[in-house]
Structure 1
């Protein structure tokens, strides 16, 4: 037996915060600078909680599709659209119809074939050029509910390098584009179409807040939102540049300062360049966002758009109904993999092959004891296990709730 008096009390540890050192990396850090903070000393979002589902917009058929090595065929696009409808998405961006015949034909097909339920609004994207706007609106003839989404980049680098224009000139692009959307909608769309408008100051994350606000206000002056006439203002993290907390500060600042706020749907559109798109979207909701735009399983340019599945399941795991049906998650995955021709990682949250599997012996022991305790608690209350709160170690949700079995929960390897 060890001598209890021979303890290690008083002996130094290998490292402390004071003695721990890292060597300089040698990487060219001089090329980069810190992201600008937002001065909101009385910010309120840290005290907020997300207790209801936001509005959701899937952009799988636009942002997601444009990022594929092999963009979807018409058949694969239709399969994805039908999946999104079955899952319960009510706002779906279906393409960039002025970009070419394929997207235009797809939009026409789902309208003419009656594939769009009456409670689903489709959205189509356009740049702020007259010929593209006309073609975009033309694609929507006969639609029951439709939104035109116009964007132009507003960040300093784009003003200087891409447009070579002043702030006033860049703002005018947004104003003129909005006016043209309204004119062509009035000319082309009949009374059967309930028509909406969305504007995005692209590269919002790099745009000065006061200028982003100025452009959005100028656009609203043209659209004239009022009761029953909403405008969607999407503030995209076209490139994710800051911590989620700073992103939330930017949303709270915009939400506070926008006029006619009660007639604005403030939409968040995070990309995942820093790996924190899910957190950025969740904190933006706390800071005032009304809607989240993203793709199933984080499909999209570069590192992808924010993952709608993870966001929805995060709500579900907190007892909040996402109002999207993920109960057959493997069917959703299979359809997504077929449509995108890309496999989903086995560690992907909630859906990967291994996410409900434990190899560690101590984890397996805790899980078994958790299942046994739940069964005993349910029996003592005279109810089924499904009627009591889920409380199994290492499993954030019950795999059965997304159509999985318990067969793969415990597996053995050389480390078990």
Structure 2
């Protein structure tokens, strides 16, 4: 037993202060201080040398989905026939060529669905069924598959010392005899039966608990099964080597696979399949290392459903290959619809942080992450224009669009987000690439707003906040509008702008000087409002391309009522097909926002100017 002391800070809501609670001593009564007295490390196979560490995955394996069998039997509420049908067709659409559909001898529901799969499977899809090594169950299983274009019988027998002694009280010799007898019966009822010649019959044998079986015995029993089946190079026998219980690190599973691959005879007539479970959380790693070690096929479930901690997640294994430039030969272009089917039929949600499939795995809330992603996308466009099409975006190993997700979900904004997050949303929603200073200012506004609400802000909320704060294109406040203007050159550095504006239904003449149209208009509005206004920053960029191109202008103005007042700042934005018009809209957007947020009195402005009726 060992103890640990914690000092806990508690918040006092009445006094808005924290107080220290006296130390609490917690005693761990169940976990052992020395677990070696109860648990021992797994004894790995003896390997004088191993080749798998130097290999890479260069091609996709054969895939088998066992969602409808192994995955279904793990559900508290198994799928009904209609749900299995929907799931089956989704698997076919994704591209699975081997599907384990049921345990047909276990129930009438499974038998009936097997018949549906047989009658509706494409000609290049193999329907596989699992069966225990018992004569009457094998006969029932063969009956369910009769008439299929391609069918596979999958038998299994526990081979680990623990299962043979504790569960079955069976010697190694008895286990081999039973496995061979089952194989011979399957052969007699399938490929040796003249009435079954219309079907391409395949056979799969699993030394169950292979991960905990002495590898020498796994090879021995599989040799006996292979001899009884007599496979060919064209139609190899499948030896499924399952980590029924994940009992060791993935590298040990790879050693077991490589040992088996090197010691089984007639390797060209054998397909080695992995079937990893996730007891230690290493199912994907074990599968990938198993492929390096010589495995030819992968069994698993979509998003990793399965008994206990689940089977290997086939989506993760496949898309891991995809991000390394290897086609998995499975199509996850519309991962959203796949998630909908899986969640509806399994009645189990896909975890928000599940690789590739989770709602949050392509989302960044952290300010530093958001800034890196935003910069990555900007540089990606430049690289593409230069002919470099390789994907290089920080924090995003996969382009979300490849699996049917849009970029709107890549960056999501809460009180922890930085300037890049809010700026990204505005860029995606409005096409506006905000100047850096404007990004910083707006991100602070967004953070304060999110913090006050205590929640994540949706894109629509951020966009609406931006439009309100910066009087986007004069859509919120429009006290003054420019009716007409003319700019004349006085000398090389000075321009005079004359024009008319409309204020509260009246037309007022304006005049101002500057070194260009922008400064001249700002000076004219300063004179009109009796407020000292200056240009602190200006930026512009194009939105879109071709005939739909528009200009976006940003103006950062300073203003103060008189020389004693502290200088204030205000951003505004204008958008138009014409660059000059966009600049004018940005200035008016800013000035109208200044009027809206200060005590400038428009009636007093009108009284001091020569005005006519509009």
TM-score scaled by length of structure 2: 0.62
Q: CA deviation at 1:223?
A: 0.7
Q: CA offset at residue 184 of structure 1?
A: 1.8
- CA–CA separation in structure 2 for the residues paired with 1:56 and 1:125: 16
What are the ranges of 5 or more consecutive residues in structure 2 without an aligned counterpart?
Answer: 1-30, 418-614
Deviation of 1:100 after TM superposition, in Å, equals 1.1
Match of 1:340 in 2: 346
Counterpart contact for 1:270–1:294, Cα < 8 Å:
yes
Per-residue deviation, 1:206 = 1.0
CA contact (8 A) 2:276 2:287 kept: yes
Matched, 1:139 2:140: no
Give the drift of 1:111: 2.2
**Corresponding residue for 1:171?**
176
CA displacement 1:190-230 (0-9 Å, x = unmatched): 22111110000001111111111110001011011233231
SS in 2 for 1:98: coil
C-alpha separation in 1, matches of 2:384 and 2:254: 41
Find the partner of 1:129 among 113, 131, 134.
Answer: 134
Tell me what 2:588 maps to.
none
Aligned partners of 1:341 and 1:130: how far apart in 2? 35
SS in 2 for 1:51: coil
- How do residues 5-24 of structure 1 correspond to structure 2 at under 5 angstroms? none
- Within the candidate set 314, 331, 336, 2:337 is matched to 331
Q: Distance in 2 between matches of 1:54 and 1:189?
A: 32
Q: Does 1:152 align with 2:153?
A: no
CA deviation string 1:326-346 (max 9, x = no partner): 010001100111111111111
Q: 1:77 and 1:44 mapped to 2: Cα distance?
A: 41
| Local SS of the residue matching 1:407 | helix
Give the corresponding residue for 2:404.
403
2:236 pairs with 1:236:
no
1:215 correspondence with 2:221:
yes
Alpha-carbon distance, 1:29 to partner: 4.1
Measured in 2, the distance between the counterparts of 1:262 and 1:410 equals 49
Retained in 2: the 8 A contact 1:94–1:122?
A: yes
How far does residue 415 in structure 1 lie from its aligned partner after superposition? 2.3
**1:84 corresponds to 2:91:** yes
Tell me the equivalent position of 1:11: none
Measured after TM superposition, the shift of residue 188 of structure 1 is: 8.2
Q: Whose strand proportion is higher, 1 or 2?
A: 2
- Tell me, in whole angstroms, the C-alpha distance in 1 between the residues paired with 2:43 and 2:345: 39
How far, CA to CA, are the matches of 1:361 and 1:353 in structure 2? Answer: 19
Match of 2:111 in 1: 104
Structure 2 residue matching 1:311: 3-state secondary structure: helix
Matched, 1:360 2:366: yes
Higher relative contact order (CA 8 A, sep 6+): 1
The answer to whether the 8 A contact 2:219-2:264 is kept is yes
User: Alpha-carbon deviation of 1:259?
Assistant: 0.3
Q: d(CA) in 2 for partners of 1:309 and 1:415?
A: 31
CA 189–369 in structure 1, closer or farther in 2 if over 3 Å, else same: farther
8 Å contact kept, 1:205–1:239 = yes
Q: What is the aligned residue count?
A: 386
Rg larger in structure = 2
Partner of 1:3: none
Segment of structure 1 superposing worse, 54-63 or 185-194: 185-194
Q: Distance in 1 between matches of 2:386 and 2:224?
A: 64
Q: 1:199 aligns with which of 205, 209, 212?
A: 205
Residue aligning to 2:328: 322
The Cα of 1:132 is off from its aligned counterpart by: 0.4
Measure, in 1, the Cα distance between the counterparts of 2:302 and 2:335.
11
What CA distance in whole angstroms lies between the structure 2 residues aligned with 1:172 and 1:158? 17
Measure, in 1, the Cα distance between the counterparts of 2:209 and 2:224.
18
